[in-house]
Amino acid sequence: MKTLLFVLPLLTLIEACDAPQRIRTPDSTFESGLDTTNGSGVGFTTSGSTGGTTTGTTTGGSTTGTTTGGTGSTINCIKTVTAYHAGLGNVDVCQDSGNEVRFKLGFSTTDQSDGTCIVPMYKDANNLSTYLGNAQCTKHNQGQTLEGTVSKNRNGYAGYQINSVMVLKYSATNAFFQCMNAYGQAYTSCMAGYGNNQFYKSYCESQGTTYMNNLCNSFKTNYPHSQVNTR
């Protein structure tokens, strides 16, 4: 049995309706969370059956190889939630009760071309969210169940618990992370342009919000996505 995995490097918090709303801290230094190590993280492998460990080669973020060993699912679900969008189908998501980075996914559709991804997220009581690590992506068949590990590796965010995930297609990940990082990038760039003079703080906040809204509205309009709470 073969599985195909491709892991995105982090590219780029988010403002949205039913999905991304970002946690914003304009007075602090923004960390872009860039991770340019292609192929990092642990792949999603078939749950049950032969299951186990994927071996093979990683090139440009894609891992191909054979899955062997294992005796079945190792995920003890907190609960199972379903992310839905017409462009995604139903994606069942469960998070392991004993290890926050372990997930099991179930798919109602086949996608052997683009692939489906999850991004580990933290959502607070006000429904504001931020990403905590890389997008973990896999190609899949209808009815397939996969399990694996996400990367919680965003600098400065180790203390945040993964309590939700964003589900989206591989082709949407660039736009998603650009949206998520838009405010911080625009705000810090604006402030730097004025020598970090606090007199311009409100103006730069406005510039950051406008830039973020433009990118996030484009993401929401053009790419299927669904954020679900996992605990």
Tens digits of per-residue pLDDT, 37-63? 222 233 577 664 433 333 333 233 333
Average pLDDT in the chain? 77
What number of CA atoms fall less than 13 Å from residue 141's CA on the CB side? 8
- pTM of the predicted model, to two decimals? 0.75
Is a pLDDT exceeding 80 seen at residue 225? Answer: yes
Confidence at 23, pLDDT banded by 50, 70, 90 = very low
Q: Give the per-residue pLDDT at 73.
A: 73
Distance of alpha carbon 51 from its chain centroid, rounded? 24
With a CB cutoff of 8 Å and minimum separation 6, the contacts of 84 are 90, 91, 226
Query: Which amino acid would we find at residue 90?
Result: N
pLDDT tens string 106-151: 999 999 999 999 999 999 998 899 999 999 999 999 999 999 999 9
Q: What is the mean pLDDT of residues 215-231?
A: 96
Q: Give the per-residue pLDDT at 40.
A: 27
Q: What is the mean pLDDT of residues 192-206?
A: 97
Total domains in the chain come to 1
DSSP state of 29: -
Q: What is the span of the domain harbouring residue 207?
A: 2-229
Q: Give the per-residue pLDDT at 43.
A: 53
Q: Give the per-residue pLDDT at 47.
A: 62
Tokens of 162: 């993964």
